[in-house]
């Protein structure tokens, strides 16, 4: 992790007060701007120095063959990797013929500021060149949330104490140099020069470059246009080549005079549309951006974010660092999906090349819960993307001799890209996770059109998959064998508790939704007998339980495995230091599995079972994944281990701000960012939605004096205000409006006319707080750590 906190704690801003080149790759991720369609890493405007240059378009990828030492039936053939597309961020500055480069001359000041309310990345620089010419530079950058295809940059140069010759070169660059690939298998392999020129268009004012990928055959266009304000005479020229375009402004500034340039960028891509269509789409987006102007884009951005924060903000009193972190998390989760519009939400968003730009189950279980209750349209679009790849999922199921649809473990466009079966296709729980996201969205929104058009078909095909994957034994029990649950240190196991419970919920949900929409169900050939079989399997699902230990087994036989030797074998993460075969046969857990089941299927366990299970698995979970801490926070809070929950909440929220996993350079951890929200709202807010009624059982740990948050539920904005001795529920809409909720298990009605006030009930743990494995104590912001 970062030894010193480089970003001061502020409620609405992430600020870099000095430039540390060692932290440059991480800050590029933190300062990324995106709208779910376009992603710009927080690279310096001049392009150099850099950690990882990055400009991304959602789902724009290159493919390459997956290498196998020995191939087998059903192995995916191709990988899909997100690529760095044409970079429009570059603004090269020459001061009296010397290039502005922060590594040379005297850097008096270098500040960057990510404003979470305005959505702007701001930069201020005070620099003296090696030739002793001093300039001040101010830049602002945005990726528009209101105009999906647009980004913009404002670049201002001011002469300080002498007449200064200025040359500013605004560029579009394709196939830019990339840093060497990491040996870490979690980092995407670098693809060299993946773009092939397909055309250029330049009219003196605007430029468009068209490129195709070599193997996947996708077509993209990038365009730029400018507004120039100079105090006197300026000279403007331009040049265009296959892989770059340059717009050059030359002028002379007297002390105190400024050159201001606004650069409008537009991007578009397609796998089917013509070059003319993409060129016209880019040109149209640039024209709309110019029509709005810089001030108009800023105003639209602020209006969009004002509406978002009004319904989504989480207010934390008593812990300024956690307050900043949860708003940072919400901002980036919003950016990951706001305008993705029926494309995948990658595990890193559009903040870096980590994991090749793939989407996993993280989206449905950690990101979509946040969007469902704060930005439901974005959650619906993410699920419509899953629906759009249904035919590929059906084809994959047929390849595996299964019914229904088998969704890929990792993908960009819908094909399976995981070349490692135990941590890929065998993780069939991803299908239940998608079903869970459908159920959650439908319960929270009552979107009947979505159920009919999208939800029911997804649930039906997932139910059919699990029915063909599972089997009944002679006693009538229903089992799912040979699968990998969320814990990737236990693979190809029978009756994984999480998978079985989530599959059972999906089966019942499919039957219930088919009953609500009989006409659509008939179109999908769902019969009464099939629906009854789904309910029967769910009712008889096998849930392994160790009677002697009094705990649920993560999977059948798990508690009989040998224990991991934590005294001499604790080089973390374990997957980079020990062979998988050794991990698979020991009681060591990468990330929460049974504990995750107790969060999302909590009504399947008693309080006593939860307490014993948490105690058992907490001692064996090493958290070699950023997905784990938030779930441990949720269950620790529910069970009364408030100090432990508080530490886990900090770890989830500060994963990227403090680089706790030491890989934020490759992109932010969207699941952990979503998990920060879950740790607070599901943990200390006690929020659950098991049966279509929002339920709360809040608690405050020592260190928090107040927690306020809002949820969108059925077109209403429910406000929850947790204080040390009471919680107040109110509806923030013009009435008349009422909402049925549960507080600490008791039903109550909230109306817009009068807030509902209930006491905070004491939370006494049934068991002492368990100890995590040696060396894996959760991050505590108030003490040094070795993580």
**488 among known catalytic residues:** yes
C-alpha to C-alpha distance for 680 and 701, rounded to whole angstroms? 11
Distance of CA 244 to the CA centre of its chain: 31
DSSP assignment letter at 413: S
C-beta neighbour count of 518 within 10 angstroms: 11
Owner of token pair 């468009």: 208
Buried b vs exposed e over 152-184: b needs ≥16 C-beta within 10 Å? bbbbbbbbbeeebebbbbbbbbbbbebeeebee
CB 312 within 8 A of CB 286: no
Confidence at residue 736, expressed as pLDDT on a 0 to 100 scale: 79
* Residue 39 to residues 23, 158, 218, 376, 619, Cα–Cα distance (Å): 20, 29, 18, 21, 39
* Residue 695 to residues 125, 225, 685, 698, Cα–Cα distance (Å): 50, 51, 10, 10
E strand or H helix at 399: helix 390-399
CB 7 within 8 A of CB 16: yes
Buried b vs exposed e over 325-338: b needs ≥16 C-beta within 10 Å? bbbbbbbbbbbbbb
Confidence at residue 783, expressed as pLDDT on a 0 to 100 scale: 53
Q: Shortest CA distance to 326 belongs to which of 77, 608, 723, 672?
A: 672
Confidence at residue 625, expressed as pLDDT on a 0 to 100 scale: 94
C-alpha to C-alpha distance for 601 and 598, rounded to whole angstroms? 5
Listed as ranges, residues in the chain with pLDDT below 70 are 1-4, 181-190, 782-787
Confidence at residue 512, expressed as pLDDT on a 0 to 100 scale: 98
pLDDT tens readout for residues 369-409? 999 999 999 999 999 999 999 999 999 999 999 999 999 99
The residues, ordered by sequence, that sit 6+ positions from 388 with a Cβ below 8 Å of its Cβ are 342, 414
Confidence at residue 744, expressed as pLDDT on a 0 to 100 scale: 96
E strand or H helix at 586: strand 586-587
**Coil/strand/helix, residue 756:** strand
C-alpha to C-alpha distance for 146 and 37, rounded to whole angstroms? 12
Active-site option among 488, 618, 638, 651:
488
The residues, ordered by sequence, that sit 6+ positions from 341 with a Cβ below 8 Å of its Cβ are 36, 37, 148, 381
Cis peptide before 303 (omega within 30 of 0): no
Confidence at residue 784, expressed as pLDDT on a 0 to 100 scale: 44
The residues, ordered by sequence, that sit 6+ positions from 372 with a Cβ below 8 Å of its Cβ are 379, 437, 440, 441, 444, 445
Confidence at residue 204, expressed as pLDDT on a 0 to 100 scale: 79
Confidence at residue 8, expressed as pLDDT on a 0 to 100 scale: 95
Q: Shortest CA distance to 672 belongs to which of 683, 685, 684, 660?
A: 660
CB 741 within 8 A of CB 729: yes
With helix as H, strand as E and coil as C, how does 550-578 read?
Answer: CEECCCCCHHHCEECCCCCCCCCCHHHCC
CB 465 within 8 A of CB 397: yes
The residues, ordered by sequence, that sit 6+ positions from 490 with a Cβ below 8 Å of its Cβ are 484, 554, 555, 558, 583, 584, 589, 593
Give the N- to C-terminal CA distance of the chain in Å, as an integer: 6
Joined together, the tokens standing for residue 96 give 């009296």
């Amino acid at each position: 992790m970062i030894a010193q906190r480089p970003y001061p704690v502020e409620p609405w801003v992430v600020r870099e007060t000095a430039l540390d080149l060692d932290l440059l790759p991480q800050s590029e991720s933190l300062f990324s701007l995106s709208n779910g369609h376009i992603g710009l890493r927080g690279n310096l405007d001049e392009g150099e120095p850099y950690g990882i240059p990055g400009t991304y378009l959602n789902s724009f990828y290159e493919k390459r063959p997956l290498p196998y030492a020995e191939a087998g039936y059903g192995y995916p053939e191709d990988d899909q990797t997100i690529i760095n597309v044409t970079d429009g961020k570059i603004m090269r500055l020459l001061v009296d013929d010397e290039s502005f480069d922060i590594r040379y001359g005297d850097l008096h000041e270098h500040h960057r500021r990510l404003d979470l309310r305005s959505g702007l990345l701001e930069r201020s620089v005070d620099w003296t060149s090696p030739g002793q010419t001093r300039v001040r530079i101010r830049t602002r950058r945005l990726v528009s949330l209101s105009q999906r295809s647009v980004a913009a940059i404002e670049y201002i140069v001011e002469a300080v104490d002498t007449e200064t010759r200025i040359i500013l070169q605004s560029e579009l660059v394709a196939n830019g140099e990339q840093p060497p690939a990491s040996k870490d298998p979690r980092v995407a392999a670098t693809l060299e020069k993946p773009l092939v020129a397909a055309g250029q268009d330049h009219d003196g004012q605007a430029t468009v470059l068209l490129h195709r990928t070599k193997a996947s055959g996708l077509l993209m266009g990038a365009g730029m246009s400018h507004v120039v304000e100079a105090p006197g005479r300026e000279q403007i020229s331009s040049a265009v080549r296959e892989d770059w375009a340059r717009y050059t402004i030359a002028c002379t500034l007297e002390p105190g005079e400024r050159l201001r340039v606004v650069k409008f960028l537009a991007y578009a891509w397609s796998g089917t549309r013509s070059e003319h269509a993409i060129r016209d789409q880019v040109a149209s987006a640039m024209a709309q951006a110019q029509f709005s102007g810089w001030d108009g884009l800023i105003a639209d951005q602020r209006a969009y974010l004002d509406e978002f924060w009004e319904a989504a903000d989480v207010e934390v009193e008593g812990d300024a660092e956690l307050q900043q972190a949860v708003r940072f998390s919400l901002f980036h989760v919003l950016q990951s999906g706001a305008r993705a519009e029926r494309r995948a939400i990658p595990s890193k968003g559009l903040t870096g090349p980590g994991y090749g730009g793939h989407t996993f189950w993280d989206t449905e279980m950690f990101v979509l819960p946040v969007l469902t209750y704060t930005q439901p349209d974005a959650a619906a679009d993410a699920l419509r993307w899953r629906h759009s790849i249904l035919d590929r999922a059906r084809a994959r199921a047929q390849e595996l001799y299964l019914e229904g649809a088998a969704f890929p473990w990792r993908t960009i466009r819908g094909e399976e890209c995981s070349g490692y079966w135990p941590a890929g296709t065998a993780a069939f729980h991803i299908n239940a996770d998608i079903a869970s996201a459908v159920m959650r969205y439908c319960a929270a929104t009552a979107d009947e059109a979505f159920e009919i058009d999208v939800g029911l078909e997804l649930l039906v095909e997932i139910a059919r998959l699990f029915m063909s994957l599972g089997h009944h034994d002679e006693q009538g029990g229903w089992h799912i064998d040979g699968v990998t649950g969320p814990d990737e240190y236990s693979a190809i196991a029978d009756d994984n508790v999480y998978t079985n419970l989530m599959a059972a919920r999906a089966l019942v949900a499919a039957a219930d939704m088919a009953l609500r929409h009989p006409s659509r169900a008939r179109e999908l050939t769902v019969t009464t007998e099939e629906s009854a079989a789904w309910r029967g399997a769910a009712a008889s699902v096998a849930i392994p339980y160790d009677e002697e230990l009094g705990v649920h087994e993560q999977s059948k036989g798990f508690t009989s495995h040998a224990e991991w030797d934590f005294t001499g074998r604790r080089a973390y993460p374990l997957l980079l230091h020990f062979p998988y075969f050794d991990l698979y046969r020991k009681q060591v857990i990468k990330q929460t599995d049974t504990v995750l089941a107790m969060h999302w299927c909590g009504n399947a366990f008693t309080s006593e079972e939860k307490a014993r299970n948490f105690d058992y698995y907490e001692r064996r979970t090493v958290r070699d994944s950023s997905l784990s801490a938030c779930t441990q926070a949720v269950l620790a809070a529910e069970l009364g281990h408030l100090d432990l929950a508080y530490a886990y909440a900090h770890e989830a929220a500060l994963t990227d701000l403090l680089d706790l996993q030491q890989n934020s350079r490759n992109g932010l951890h969207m699941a952990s960012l979503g998990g920060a929200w879950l740790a607070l709202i599901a943990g200390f807010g006690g929020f659950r939605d098991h049966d279509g009624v929002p339920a709360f059982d809040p608690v405050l740990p020592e260190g928090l004096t107040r927690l306020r948050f809002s949820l969108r539920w059925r077109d209403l904005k429910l406000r929850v205000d947790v204080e040390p001795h009471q919680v107040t529920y109110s509806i923030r809409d013009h009435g008349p409006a009422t909402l049925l909720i549960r507080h600490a298990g008791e039903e109550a009605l909230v109306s817009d006319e009068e807030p509902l006030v209930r006491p905070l009930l004491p939370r006494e743990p049934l068991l002492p707080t368990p100890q995590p494995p040696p060396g894996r104590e959760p991050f505590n912001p108030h003490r040094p750590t070795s993580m």
